[in-house]
Amino acid sequence: MRYSEMHLPTLREIPSDAEVISHKLMIRAGMIRKLTSGIYSYLPLGYRVIRKVEQIVREEMNKAGAQEVFMPMVQPAELWEESGRWVHYGKELLRFRDRHERPYCLGPTHEEVITDLVRNDVKTYRQLPLNLYQIQTKFRDEVRPRFGVMRCREFGMKDAYSFDADEEGAQNSYEKMFKAYNNIFRRCGLRFRPVEADSGSIGGKYSHEFMVMADSGEDAIVFCEKCSYAANLEKAEIAQPAKKNIPEKDMLPLESVHTPNARTIEEVSAFLKVKPENIIKTLIFNADGHPCAVLIRGDQEVNEIKVKNYLGAGELELADDEIINKATGAPRGFAGAVNIKTRVIADYSIMNMINFVTGANKQDYHLKNVNVGRDFQVEAYADLRVVEENDSCPRCAGKVKFARGIEVGHVFKLGTKYSKAMKAVYLDKDGQEKTMIMGCYGIGISRTVAACIEQNHDDQGIVWPVPLAPYHVIITPVNVNDKSISDVAENLYNKMQDEKIEAILDDRDERAGVKFNDADLIGIPLRVVIGQKNLALNKVELKIRQTGENKLIAVDEIVNEVKEYVNKVFSSAE
């Protein structure tokens, strides 16, 4: 494409509402423009990158045996009522009525529509397994749309849904998608990690989120420095420590101490001059209406998702004052496990603690020299806390570290959540009616583009990895009014067109500095600079955006050189 004919409005100034670098650069590089909050148009350069991601996604999905469909964005309320989500989905679901006053929503996801499609046409085990996907616009009325197309309201997603006859089949479908996602993000040229994530109350023990590694990412990732273990912060497991035998004789006599107004760990620690790691925090939760005390070391944090999963609770929240009062006989801030009137579960962190401090279940009092076994019983020890950096890896002898990432994809086992509610059934070999087992698999297309920029940029602009670059090379004649220069530029451009190299010819009558700045801003991987001095030696300059490396190449060889550079990247990603 000739730059002079492109709609490529680059900006020098930084847009005032842009907080993150990808948002700033996508606006400045003329990729996107905001229409209204969380809703963007893609300009030609931006849309080319979107299409590149889509193409890789399509190829890998097809290779994994999934088939492409295209479902409507407008969905009738009845379907959502069948699944129960018309009530539960909340305000992210944009609802509206047509002229007949019938209720509809804009699809934030397509489980309902796909389950309806499949239940109507799939009748026997012979039609299974089935994996259908689409690349389509989603609408989610996010509370706080931000970061440009990274968290917007209208965005492109690839969503796939698998239907299987049994658990084994469903696991197989999941693994195929897991593999396809690895291929997709590798082929995009991104540094990423699949991490274990919580799967809530449905669909098995885990799901996986695919994270693009970037310091600016919203998500905390926990990974092992030795093995391949990685999980998001809420899911990351902590290994069970070995239980040490604590001899009775080491247990000091229990002592009640007056601690006026000392409620928090910090206050108690300061008042009694005891380190937080020698205090036990007693948190009382309300799990589906039943109180439960959770014990944890004073310097650590409870992971509520782990507690919820451990208790198998639908709803979990910290108990209110009334429940606390009933369970402990004291106001908030003085709870302890000794004589408490609730179940008591404890995090592994307290398994080997001795002579610790805890609340006395009495206003303004704490207990010293408390010991499990002698003073109270624990129903069970479990992994209930938030992981910390340098905790032991749950899989090997290594230590875990923290990093940040951006979730670009998610593979999830749905089990029978939708197929049961919406009666997606089939007849098995014996003519028995069975419920299909589902999985769902999403990739945020627009978020992948933004995440790529978060990971690949410098002070000058975007640094596209070749597979997602809108163009691979930009030819920059330093002065278009010099015929010897522009002739060579035109000639090289034509040759590259013939060779199907994706090239821009910067044929604008602009100063070289302006052209270089734009080329760096829009992040084209290779720049071929044609100037008088080198041309006298029959050479042009090749600049590699990523490394900043400069090479002088003979005019006759430059087309081949560019081709080889690009091909090498593609073949190494295969």
Which residues of 290-338 form beta strands (DSSP E)? 290-297, 316-318
Tell me the closest approach of the beta carbon of residue 423 to ligand ATP, in angstroms: 24
Phi, psi of 437 (to 5 degrees): -110, 130
Alpha helices in 440-511 (DSSP H): 445-455, 483-498
Choosing from 22, 300, 446, 476, the residue that interacts with ligand ATP (CB under 6 A) is: 446
Looking at the Cβ atoms of 51 and 410, the one nearer to ligand ATP is 410
Rounded to 10 deg, the angle between the 445-455 and 21-28 helix axes is 100
Helix (H) or strand (E) holding 412: strand 400-415
Alpha-carbon span 360 to 258, nearest angstrom:
10
Give SS3 for 291.
strand
Tell me the closest approach of the beta carbon of residue 241 to ligand ATP, in angstroms: 32
x/- track of binding to ligand ATP for residues 205-244 (CB under 6 A): ----------------------------------------
Q: Position 83: which residue type?
A: S
Looking at the Cβ atoms of 152 and 382, the one nearer to ligand ATP is 152
Neighbours of 496 (CB within 10 A): 22
Q: Which stretch binds ligand ATP (CB under 6 A): 152-160, 226-234, 464-472, 491-499?
A: 152-160
Answer yes or no whether residue 447 interacts with ligand ATP by CB under 6 A: yes
105 to 144, contacts with ligand ATP by CB under 6 A?
109, 140, 142
- Tokens 């006759």 label which residue? 556
Looking at the Cβ atoms of 104 and 147, the one nearer to ligand ATP is 147
Looking at the Cβ atoms of 108 and 525, the one nearer to ligand ATP is 108
Answer yes or no whether residue 262 interacts with ligand ATP by CB under 6 A: no
Answer yes or no whether residue 407 interacts with ligand ATP by CB under 6 A: yes
Looking at the Cβ atoms of 53 and 292, the one nearer to ligand ATP is 53
Choosing from 151, 193, 297, 543, the residue that interacts with ligand ATP (CB under 6 A) is: 151
In this structure, the chain runs to a length of 574
Choosing from 46, 359, 405, 409, the residue that interacts with ligand ATP (CB under 6 A) is: 409
Alpha-carbon span 211 to 218, nearest angstrom:
10
Looking at the Cβ atoms of 89 and 365, the one nearer to ligand ATP is 89
Tell me the closest approach of the beta carbon of residue 258 to ligand ATP, in angstroms: 47
Q: How far is CA 379 from CA 279, 294, 352, in A?
A: 19, 10, 15
Looking at the Cβ atoms of 152 and 296, the one nearer to ligand ATP is 152
Closest by CA to 210, choosing from 255, 253, 234, 179, is 179
**Residues in CB range of 81: below 8 A, 6 or more apart:** 87
Burial of 254 (0-12, 13-18, 19+ CB in 10 A): middle
Looking at the Cβ atoms of 145 and 336, the one nearer to ligand ATP is 145
Looking at the Cβ atoms of 319 and 408, the one nearer to ligand ATP is 408
Q: Which stretch binds ligand ATP (CB under 6 A): 77-85, 147-155, 370-378, 483-491?
A: 147-155
Choosing from 53, 408, 469, 478, the residue that interacts with ligand ATP (CB under 6 A) is: 408
Answer yes or no whether residue 442 interacts with ligand ATP by CB under 6 A: yes
Distance of CA 48 to the CA centre of its chain: 23
Using an 8 Å Cβ cutoff, are 545 and 537 in contact? no
- The first and second tokens of residue 333, run together, are 């801030």
Answer yes or no whether residue 157 interacts with ligand ATP by CB under 6 A: yes
- Tokens 């010991």 label which residue? 371
The residues that touch ligand ATP, with contacts defined as CB under 6 A, are 109, 140, 142, 151-152, 155, 157, 407-410, 442, 444, 446-447
